[in-house]
């Protein structure tokens, strides 16, 4: 992952890394909890428990990757009390992210980070770029659903969803709706427009969707206002692209169909196996046979 692609979650994750007595890297679960968007320990611990089950299912020993520990936390009275915590290997962190709540933007960022990092160890830079694009496409699909729900809550009728979503495109693409964008880029009418976007264009549209959803949730009410809000947010994202000198989305050539990318990656999919040191996880060099 290049410097320009490092997200706050990725940077924070690496900053929280520690080293134990076995010279093995580890992370504290309590430190990761807020970084991954969890406000309740109970919810985060459920993700940890699912990750431990995935670890065992994959043929790896959970004891090498999840170590239950305790830590003392301060109380308002000045006293302290013990709370549960875990030391986690990098592999454990990966499994927690995969078993986390994909609706949380922090989890989505972390999933993208781990996917790209894991593939970079085995595949070419081009394949790693494919992984990044596929992850972004999955995230935009989730965000599209979430935005539709927010629009419905704001008063947009189901028969007007097409108009609502087209308004966002028109704002971001300088007045071009979905069908006009396809025509400009010579994309087949049967293709989903999002399936033909490269990573940069997907990221711009995902940002448009998340910002619109947040704005609708802050009190936008009524179908007309919701549609206008979506178009306005699209215009603001477009203006931001102009200010930083980026390529406007309508000028980005269509990318290879995402189904072809997915097919290629599946054919090269690595097995979820670890080399000896990685399998040792928290035990590092001292892993026993």
Alpha-carbon gap, residue 211 to 230, rounded angstroms: 9
* Amino acid 210: pLDDT: 95
Q: Residue 171 pLDDT > 60, yes or no?
A: yes
Which one-letter DSSP state was computed for residue 222?
S
Task: Name residue 66's beta-bridge partners.
Answer: 88
Q: How confident is the model at residue 116 (pLDDT cuts 50, 70, 90)?
A: low
The domain locations on the chain are 3-122+272-286, 126-267
State percent of the chain over pLDDT 90: 60
Could you give the 3-state DSSP secondary structure of residue 182? helix
How does the average pLDDT of the chain come out, rounded?
86
- Whether residue 1 is predicted with pLDDT greater than 50 in this model: the reply is no
In this structure, are residues 214 and 237 in contact, taking their beta carbons and an 8 Å threshold?
no
Helices then strands, counting H and E runs in the chain, come out as 12, 4
Reported pTM:
0.57
- The burial class, CB within 10 Å (0-12 / 13-18 / 19+), for 198 is middle
For 56-110, write each residue's pLDDT tens digit: 888 888 999 999 887 655 555 666 667 789 999 988 998 999 898 888 888 888 8
Q: Given CA atoms 7, 145, 184, 265 in this order, what sign does their dihedral have?
A: positive
pLDDT digits (tens, 9 = 90+) for 197-220: 999 999 999 999 999 999 999 989
pLDDT at 285: 56
Average pLDDT (226-247) is: 97
User: Which of 80, 82, 104, 136 is CA-nearest to residue 32?
Assistant: 104
Residue with tokens 């427009």: 193
Give the residue, 111 or 44, on which the prediction is more confident: 44
Q: With a cut of 70, say whether residue 274 has pLDDT above it.
A: no
């Amino acid at each position: 992952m290049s410097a320009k692609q490092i997200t706050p979650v990725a940077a924070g994750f690496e900053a929280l890394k520690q080293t134990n007595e076995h010279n093995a890297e580890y992370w504290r679960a309590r430190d990761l909890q807020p970084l991954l968007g969890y406000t309740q320990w109970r919810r985060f611990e459920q993700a940890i428990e699912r990750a431990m089950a995935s670890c065992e299912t994959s043929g790896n020993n959970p004891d090498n990757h999840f170590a239950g520990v305790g830590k003392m936390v301060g109380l308002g009275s000045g006293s302290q009390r013990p709370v549960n915590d875990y030391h986690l290997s990098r592999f454990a962190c990966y499994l927690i992210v995969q078993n986390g709540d994909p609706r949380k933007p922090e989890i989505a960022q972390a999933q993208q980070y781990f996917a790209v990092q894991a593939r970079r160890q085995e595949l070419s830079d081009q394949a790693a770029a494919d992984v990044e694009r596929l992850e972004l496409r999955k995230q935009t699909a989730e965000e599209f659903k979430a935005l539709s729900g927010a629009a419905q809550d704001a008063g947009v009728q189901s028969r007007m969803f097409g108009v609502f979503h087209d308004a966002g495109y028109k704002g971001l693409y300088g007045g071009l709706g979905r069908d006009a964008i396809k025509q400009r880029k010579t994309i087949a009418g049967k293709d989903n427009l999002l399936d033909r976007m490269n990573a940069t264009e997907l990221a711009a549209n995902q940002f448009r969707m998340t910002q619109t959803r947040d704005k609708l949730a802050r009190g936008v009410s009524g179908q007309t206002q919701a549609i206008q809000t979506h178009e306005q947010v699209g215009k603001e994202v477009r203006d931001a692209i102009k200010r930083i000198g980026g390529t406007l989305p309508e000028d980005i050539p269509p990318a290879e169909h995402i189904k072809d990318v997915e097919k290629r990656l599946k054919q090269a999919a690595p097995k979820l196996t670890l080399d000896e040191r990685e399998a040792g996880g928290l035990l590092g060099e001292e892993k026993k046979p």
